Amino acid sequence: MSEQEIVENTSPKLNRRRLFFWLGIASLVVTLLFLMYWLFRQPSRGIVTSAPAKEKINYAAPEHRKRYDGKYLTFTYPRDFERREEVETVKFPILERLYLSRSDIEGRKIAITVQDNTGYSFEEYSSFRIRRSDSGTYAEEKVSQNGLEAVLFSKSTSVFEVSAFFPSASYIVSIVISSPTTQNGLRAELLALLDSFVWKAPEK
């Protein structure tokens, strides 16, 4: 048999084998795609566990508050705040300064400053003037709390802040409570602090 006859006799067989081979590959791909489509449309199965609910503590309650007993003033604050030690000593006209912070996701901080009024009016206090002059950022209101006549400023953009300023005959106090993540609870915490505020130093 000639070489040409061998090629002619075997070519149809090779072609059929190739055809069946590619048909098999195509069938396998279609089957895999169908199985993946079917699996992705199935509802999720498994055991879902949830962490036990964290106990909500009322930090306004007396049993959950600590007392700061300073030179010029005393007040209470939530017990989960920690005092940050001063690196620099205060200099006149600042008489007393305190920083408190909470190490949670809210990152809440409390800064309190007692300053000699140095004979100027309350409105000339620099931190007060900065907030009052920026009415687009700070909303201003007056509050009477625990015998204190204070001016409050609220900032509703990050860093969120509620601050209070009030004078006595000899001193000016600023209280700033801030959080980089939320404004919720800042005003209530400030009012709770004012409720517990007591002057210690006698007037000059």
DSSP state of 149: E
pLDDT of residue 41: 72
Q: Are residues 67 and 35 in the same domain?
A: no
Structural domain includes residue 163: yes
Averaged pLDDT, 4-31: 68
Residue 176 and residue 163 in contact, taking contact as beta carbons nearer than 8 Å: yes
Q: What is each CA distance from 177 to 39, 71, 100, 159, in whole angstroms?
A: 52, 21, 9, 10
Q: Are residues 43 and 80 in the same domain?
A: no
DSSP state of 42: S
Structural domain includes residue 69: yes
pLDDT of residue 162: 97
Lowest-confidence segment of 11-20, 151-160, 180-189 by average pLDDT: 11-20
Q: Which residue has the higher pLDDT, 60 or 163?
A: 163
Residue 134 and residue 184 in contact, taking contact as beta carbons nearer than 8 Å: no
Q: Are residues 119 and 173 in the same domain?
A: yes
Q: Are residues 124 and 38 in the same domain?
A: no
Q: Give the best-scoring range by mean pLDDT among 9-18, 84-93, 186-195.
A: 186-195
Q: Are residues 153 and 175 in the same domain?
A: yes
DSSP state of 147: T
pLDDT confidence tier of residue 157, bands split at 50, 70 and 90: very high
**H helices present in the chain, as ranges:** 3-40, 126-133, 186-195
Task: Give the integer Cα–Cα distance in Å for 17 and 88.
Answer: 89
Q: Which residue has the higher pLDDT, 142 or 58?
A: 142
Asked whether residue 4 carries a pLDDT value surpassing 60, the answer given is no
Q: Are residues 74 and 27 in the same domain?
A: no
pLDDT confidence tier of residue 202, bands split at 50, 70 and 90: low
- Cα of first residue to Cα of last residue in the chain, in angstroms, is 129
Structural domain includes residue 72: yes
pLDDT, tens digit (0-9, with 9 covering 90-100), for 95-110: 999 999 998 888 899 9
Structural domain includes residue 55: no
Task: Give the integer Cα–Cα distance in Å for 71 and 81.
Answer: 20
Residue 96 gets the label, from left (phi > 0), alpha (psi -120 to 50) or beta, of beta
Q: Are residues 66 and 145 in the same domain?
A: yes
Q: State phi, psi for 84 to the nearest 5 degrees.
A: -100, 125
Q: What is the pTM of this model?
A: 0.70
Structural domain includes residue 139: yes
Structural domain includes residue 79: yes
Structural domain includes residue 100: yes
Averaged pLDDT, 19-24: 76
Q: Are residues 115 and 29 in the same domain?
A: no
Structural domain includes residue 57: no
Q: Are residues 45 and 68 in the same domain?
A: no
Q: Are residues 129 and 74 in the same domain?
A: yes
- Hey, how many other C-beta atoms are within 10 angstroms of the C-beta on 120? 12
Q: Are residues 84 and 164 in the same domain?
A: yes
Per the structure, how many domains does the chain have?
2
Asked whether residue 7 carries a pLDDT value surpassing 50, the answer given is no
State percent of the chain over pLDDT 90.
Answer: 51
Domain that holds residue 73: 62-199
CATH number at residue 89: 3.40.1000.10
- Average pLDDT over all residues of the chain: 83
Q: Which residue has the higher pLDDT, 113 or 204?
A: 113
Q: How many CA atoms lie within 13 A of 18 on its CB side?
A: 6
Q: Which residue has the higher pLDDT, 188 or 203?
A: 188
